[in-house]
Chain A
Amino acid sequence: MKKASIDCRGKTTREINVQIRDFIADHATEIEILSPAARHNLGVATIEPVKMVFDGSVGYFCGGMIDGPEILVRGSAGWGLGETMMGGTIVVEGNAGNGAGAAIRNGTVVVRGHAAARAGISMKGGLLMIGGSVGYMSGFMMQKGTLIVCGDAAEGLADSMYLGTVYIGGKFESLGHDTEVSEPTDEDWKFLRENLSRFELPCDRPFRKIVAGRRLWNFDKKDFDIWKAVL
């Protein structure tokens, strides 16, 4: 194991990201990034299985487009955490801004605190787990993958989802259009326990399972009301 460290003070974001690449080229396996001071675009598009530890808050799009790394944020994250990531793991110890895990294709994103509006919007796979609560329109138009929320959700949870699964441990203010709520099966509980305990997130919540009602897949005149509301 080869460790490396970067102090962000006095450096531009480009210089920091270039230095991360240089360390990876030099076979570093763990890079600690000090004083990130909520800069945007940190560690984006990294495709090597390296561990990156951000010692503080990160700004927008941290870990966006990554494929393979393991990212730990000892602070909060701004908008678009891990946006369109292809694989790897991101763990945020604090809270996350809007669009956490937006359009991820694979991999795991964990937010130990709360996530703001549109968490897991348009997910195309992977796993997004929120230890706290999520904001307005979380899971909006998700297409695949799993969103687990241990706390509560604001309005419009999982609105217009195509496929995929949302598990919610707390209350939701309102459900989005074309969703179906059910009790998790034994297999679902096994999946929940396995993944939540892997990151020491609470498994003891009365989780409910939300999937697509599939009425928006094809237009049907008898579903006109729901179409009118959605469009």
Chain B
Amino acid sequence: MCGIVGFFDKTGSGNAPIGKIMLRMLEALCRRGPDSAGVALYGPATNDALVLNVKVGEHGDFREKGLQLAEKIRHFARVHQASVLGEYLRLRLEWDQGVRQLQKQIEALSEGVEVVSLGKQLEIIKQVGSPDALNHTYGIDSFVGHHALGHTRMSTESKVDLSHSQPFWAHGIADLASVHNGHITNYHKLRRQYEQRDIRFYTENDSEIIGVFLADQMEHGMDLKDALKASLRTFDGSYSYLAASANTLAYAKDRFAYKPLVIGETDEFVALATEEVAIRAAFPNETISTREAPANYSHTWSVPQEVAVNY
């Protein structure tokens, strides 16, 4: 059992209080996932620079390790900014080659290093513990932006640590992230197929396959919308999952409708959550009509292209 939440500002203003919204929604669902909490926040685009959140290791002095790592990265990338917060090294840098290449080079620098998120707008922050603790460490309540995903985790199959927490960045595609509630039962079979193609898995968590699958489809020319539809045909088991890219928020639900997902939509925004209580907690004064997402179905909300460019 997990809690997943999503928010999308349909006006395209780019200054919705997404940090606060995510926190309120996650706190309402914390009983569905006491193990860990995380958010994927989509802020304004950072010109040509990429923003990376890098996990620097399991133990030790994160600050010292992080700054040492940043020094090594300066040898091959133009780093504008490097800072250590909590367990993460946050980098803003320029890079003109492929995303996978950058990720590989960084992760080869030291054992336990993992690029947790990478993109022009995306920042993933997650840790073991409650949403409240997440805010205490990272101050996410001040974050404004355009759309966001959130997750509270109750682990059933794999271990409880930062790497196994959600959201997952879809390694290989900038700004693509997902959160999942359920169990993808053909995970091992799919994972074997990808590993034969030399694709690295970071966790034993079945939810990781969603990002791997979507990234693979998109690297082969599909857009997110079609990749979601393809996932409905490919994934077995129970799932409601949300995915987001730089300008899109999307959901998909399995053909048996085993897992809940409530949609609350107004002219200004859409809020998605495992339980309606999360939507009511984030928007207590609004009369939002809600509905349950249908079985075997996916849907996307996108910013009109011109708005996305003019951030």
Contact = CB atoms under 8 A, between A and B. Distances in A.
B211 interface: no
Nearest to A78: B276
Q: Which of B256, B260, B279, B291 has the most CB of A within 10 A?
A: B291
State the majority secondary structure of interface residues on A: loop
22 contacts: A37-B281, A38-B275, A38-B277, A40-B277, A56-B280, A57-B290, A59-B276, A59-B277, A76-B276, A76-B290, A78-B262, A96-B292, A97-B260, A114-B291, A116-B257, A116-B291, A116-B292, A117-B292, A118-B257, A135-B292, A136-B257, A137-B256
A46 interface: no
A146 interface: no
B276 A94 contact: no
A143 interface: no
A193 interface: no
B82 interface: no
B294 interface: yes
A98 B289 contact: no
Interface string B249-277: 00000011100101000000000000111
B284 interface: yes
In this complex, the interface size class of chain B, counting residues with CB under 8 Å from chain A, is: 20 to 34
Nearest to B291: A95
B276 A38 contact: yes
The 5 lowest CB-CB distance pairs between A and B, nearest first, are A116-B292, A117-B257, A38-B276, A136-B295, A38-B277
A35 B277 CA distance: 11
A49 interface: no
A89 B280 CA distance: 25
Interface string B275-309: 11101110010000111111110000000000000
A154 B260 CA distance: 17
Interface of B: 255-257, 260, 262, 275-277, 279-281, 284, 289-296
Interface of A: 35, 37-40, 56-57, 59-60, 76, 78-79, 94-98, 113-114, 116-118, 135-137, 154-155
A79 B292 CA distance: 9
A37 B257 contact: no
Contacts of B256: 117, 136-137
Contacts of A40: 277
Nearest to B293: A116
Contact of B262 (A37, A97, A136): A97
Contacts of B293: 116
A78 B275 contact: yes
A155 B254 CA distance: 13
B279 to A, nearest CB: 7
Contacts of B284: 35, 37
Contacts of A95: 289-292
Given A38-B280, A97-B262, A116 B275 contact: no
A94 B292 CA distance: 11
